[in-house]
Amino acid sequence: MCGIVGIINSNELKVKSLNILSKLEYRGYDSAGVSFLSNKKIKTITEVGKISKLSKSLTSTYDNFHSVIGHTRWATHGVVSKNNAHPFSDQKISLVCNGIIENYKDLQKKYLAHYKKNIESDVETVFLVLKELSKKINDKYKLIKKLKSILRGNYAFLIYFSDTEETYALKAGSPLSIGKKMNSVYFSSDPSALDEYIYEIYHLHDGDVLRVSKSEVSFLNNNKVKFLPYQQSTNKFSKGDFKHFMIKEIHEQPIVLKNTQKYYDKDYFVDFRDKLKDLLQESNSFVFVGCGTAYHACLTAKYYFEKFTSINVSCEYASELRYKNINNKNSKAIYIFISQSGETMDTLMALKYVKSKGFNSIVITNSLESTMVREANITLPTFAMKEIGVASTKAFTCQLLALANLCLEVGVINKNLNSKEYLKLKKDLRNIPSKLNKILKMDNYLDKIVNLLSSAKACYFIARNNVFPIALEGSLKLKEISYMHSEGFAGGEMKHGPIALIDKEVVSICLNPNNELFEKSNSNCEEILARGGKVIVFSSKTSGSKKNLFEVILPKETYIDAPFIYTMPLQLISYYYALNEGTDIDQPRNLAKSVTVE
């Protein structure tokens, strides 16, 4: 989940490295550091905290250096401290890593038993082991080959040797890309951070070891790297007129959903439908796989598919699936993996595991250059553009849109939906942006809800059917960015335990679409009110004025658009409550945007 950068054979190293690192900060912001590199000289500066703090410590222009490697950290092994900040370096070697070295304790016992210092970090362990190995192995080719052979885990390394002025890049699981422009070479965990600097690019594959000597790039076996032309991303790293990326990205949802649906209608599903037909001929079930917010998209998809198709569907946490014993005697299931970045480690490893068992797979992602795209049979892209805020908003609703469209295509192919039903549902999807724009214009309820949350000790989200996953997502958003204790419950489960939590210091948010379950959900609200709890109801139908009940009337929903309509208000109240609490909304504590470690 860390971010690494390398700039080889270039100028303005301070400005460029800070600019790229700031774009990678969503990957971790516990500490940051850089090593400026030249012949027989390495200058390393690290700081605990964000890139802005590191920037203040860089007091020189560093014009007498030709290269730099840098790092922004999300702590895994070892406390947040300058001692555990990357790069790890001396005057001979500098090293940064994104990932986890699983066997670092074994490495310590084998190579560092004579060290009296307490070594907390897995990466510091690798640095010290590399130093020990270098005492016996002078040849850098053999040294790197030996290092690679003893490492176990998922990682991406940049390693610089000052005596030969060579930089080595190693990849095994964690993302890393290399780009070029003229005689300069750039590395980054996220290629979009290199937009303004490169003309061509190569995405490292697992097992790759690259060597950069001045401007020459080759594999460890001396084969040349085949670069491809680089297309700049259209979404810039800018908040525009908004205070935070999160609120900007909430407001971008109508336009990104409109553009995504337009692409699905005009181009994408024309070709996708044929590929899907081929897969469905061999399939009798779908398994949706994700983590966090993406898992809530999986749960929503399950309701869609059970409503509009005859396909058997189930959902799995990626972190659990990868360690399950899957029966591959009947490989007729299609596994659908959902990941905003396409690099989520648990999801990626689950995909590779399922693939090894002979199952077909579909990936839904916002990043077409990601590792998961290269692993899957079919990719269903979302077009949310770059999402910077750690708490997912527009990426989530674009995932829902992709899943809704996929469901309708399956429904038609399997003859569960006729042409009239299909066209009606597609129209409902095209109408979603206009409904969300109406919600964005509704702001009279926000202050009231923020005040209610401010005086509460906990908040519970309650819903039924296809907005139950949205209750889970609303709860996750609130706890992610405000740190308030929150849980999501299925309405029918309240009397089976959770209602014991209700008292006058608790706020419950009920999602109650105007459908066949409206009265049952309304009864849940009554049960909470009867026990002294405060209730906020989001619905398109009023349930009448009651003490301790606050209603927010939303646009009229259909079954397929209800998850979208009930998501946006929950994103907004989470944002404004966190704003009121003064938390770091775009970079909440202990979290990172792209979870590329287990």
Question: Position 227: which residue type?
Answer: F
Catalytic residue among 43, 477, 534, 593: 593
Calpha distance 167→596 (Å, rounded): 23
Sequence-distant (≥ 6) Cβ neighbours of residue 19 within 8 angstroms: none
Calpha distance 426→403 (Å, rounded): 12
Both structure tokens of 239: 């908040």
Calpha distance 196→176 (Å, rounded): 17
Phi and psi (nearest 5°) for 524?
-60, -40
Q: Shortest CA distance to 301 belongs to which of 410, 167, 164?
A: 410
Q: How far apart are the first and last CA of the chain?
A: 9
Calpha distance 357→378 (Å, rounded): 17
Q: Which residues pair with 312 in a beta bridge?
A: 285
Both structure tokens of 401: 């849109």
Calpha distance 459→510 (Å, rounded): 11
Phi and psi (nearest 5°) for 538?
-105, 125
CA dihedral 186, 187, 188, 194 (to 10 degrees): 10
Contact 21, 2 (CB under 8 A): no
Residue bearing tokens 């469901």? 407
Q: In Å, how far from its chain's centre is CA 553?
A: 32
- Nearest 5 degrees, angle CA 565-CA 567-CA 568? 80
Q: Shortest CA distance to 486 belongs to which of 472, 496, 500?
A: 472
Question: Position 344: which residue type?
Answer: T
Catalytic residue among 2, 291, 407, 510: 2
Residue bearing tokens 């609303």? 474
Residue 136 host element (H or E): none
- Identify whether 459 is a catalytic site residue: no
For 321-396, strand residue ranges (E) read 333-339, 360-365, 378-381
Contact 524, 494 (CB under 8 A): yes
Q: Shortest CA distance to 253 belongs to which of 576, 589, 561, 577?
A: 561
Phi-psi region of 99 (alpha: psi -120 to 50; beta: other; left: phi over 0): left
- Is there a cis peptide before residue 569, judged by omega within 30 degrees of 0? no
Calpha distance 28→158 (Å, rounded): 17
DSSP string for residues in 41-105 = EEEEEEEES-HHHHHHH--S--TT-SEEEEEEE--SSS-SSSTTPSPEE-SSEEEEEEEEETTHH
- Identify whether 398 is a catalytic site residue: no
Q: Shortest CA distance to 12 belongs to which of 265, 239, 213, 186?
A: 186
DSSP-assigned letter for residue 194: G
Calpha distance 348→339 (Å, rounded): 9
Which residues are designated catalytic? Answer: 2, 593
